[in-house]
Amino acid sequence: MSSYWQIVLASRPEGRPRLNNFRIEKRSILALPDGNILVRTLYLSLDPYMRGRMSDARSYASAVAIGAPMEGEAIAEIVESRHPDYRPGELIRAMIGWRTLAAIDPATARRINVGRAPITTALGVLGMPGFTGYSGLKVIGQPKPGETVAVAAATGPVGSLVGQLAKRAGARTVGIAGGPEKCRSLTTEFGFDRAVDHKSKSFAKALSEVCPDGIDVYFENVGGAVWPAVLPLLNRYGRVPICGLVAHYNGEAGVGRDRLPDTMLAVLRRSLLLRGFINSEFISEHYDAFLSELTPLVATGAIRYREDIVEGLEAAPAAFIGMLCGKNFGKLLVKVA
């Protein structure tokens, strides 16, 4: 019998999640079913999409039930195996949830293959966030040499890769982030041509000044106040991959006038393309190319990434809540064991 900790959804948040929407519990695994593996969580990934799972609004995935463990991908080590193909000591990643230990069917897991890169990259630049940036830019954004690519949440695991890949494709890159420290890292660490602070009062003006030729691709992964500043700058035939809208996940009612007509009219008048996506829709066609292209670039440092690691499963709720308002600086991970 193995006991473990898990964090469950205690109640559905109204607006911004609070600590009391979560509850930590001790549980036990009595016996490992045949064909399963017992895994100990090493790192848990915290990602904005989890906010959606806390609500029961219609989405591409169903909601976490009240009382059920929060969903999440993790890196784990096999501690016991009742499957002939898996041995203790091997590392996998899987949707283990916010738990320190789990019995899982290994068919739902992937062995970690990050070459010489640290294993945590399997949850970030070489994992789901990285593939989100890679596939959205490749399939929808399609930057061309000389075009301007703007990216929101640009120090995050999706945005920082999008900026670097757009630059490698010959585009001029503009990163948007909150605060001077993050903005500095955009140009010094991630190679963006320009950085703009969305917390600045003159944000819209500053953005237009660093985009003298407009914006051809805007990689949308935040929503909120960035979009109205980007919209007037989008060039004819601009492309907008939309992979996240963290500013809207808490469901605060929009204030002021209805901004929808402005957006629809701009889409019409400038032949814009808006396309929402989730990385899973591109896996069968693009995942292998992603891993084979990116793994060596990450291992050699040609592609950079940044991680923000908090310690202990019990730290997950506060870290997650902070991430929803941009407190993290880099890919947010919880070191569990």
Closer of 81 and 221 to its own copies (Cβ): 221
In the complex, minimum distance from the CB of residue 51 to its own copies, in angstroms, rounded to a whole number: 12
Closer of 103 and 267 to its own copies (Cβ): 267
Distance of alpha carbon 24 from the chain centroid: 24
Buried b (16+ CB within 10 A) or exposed e, 192-218: bbbbbbbeeeebbebbbebbeebbbbb
Buried b (16+ CB within 10 A) or exposed e, 2-31: bebbbbbbbeebeeebeeebbeeeeeebee
In the complex, minimum distance from the CB of residue 257 to its own copies, in angstroms, rounded to a whole number: 5
Closer of 103 and 245 to its own copies (Cβ): 245
* 136 exposure class (CB count in 10 Å sphere: 0-12, 13-18, 19+): buried
Residue whose C-alpha is closest to residue 7's, from 76, 56, 72:
72
d(CA 117, CA 138): 23
Closer of 223 and 296 to its own copies (Cβ): 223
Residue type, 5: W
In the complex, minimum distance from the CB of residue 313 to its own copies, in angstroms, rounded to a whole number: 28
The secondary structure of residue 274, as a DSSP letter, is E
Closer of 50 and 96 to its own copies (Cβ): 50
* 309 exposure class (CB count in 10 Å sphere: 0-12, 13-18, 19+): middle
What does the chain come to in residues? 337
In the complex, minimum distance from the CB of residue 55 to its own copies, in angstroms, rounded to a whole number: 11
In the complex, minimum distance from the CB of residue 157 to its own copies, in angstroms, rounded to a whole number: 18
Closer of 30 and 255 to its own copies (Cβ): 255
Binding positions for its own copies, rule: CB under 8 A: 52, 57-60, 220, 223, 227, 232, 236, 242-245, 248, 253-261, 263-278, 281
In the complex, minimum distance from the CB of residue 175 to its own copies, in angstroms, rounded to a whole number: 21
Q: What's the CA angle centered on 118, arms 154 and 126, to 5 degrees?
A: 50
Residue type, 214: G
Q: Specify whether the backbone of 35 is left (phi greater than 0), alpha (psi in -120 to 50) or beta.
A: left
In the complex, minimum distance from the CB of residue 40 to its own copies, in angstroms, rounded to a whole number: 33
Closer of 107 and 255 to its own copies (Cβ): 255
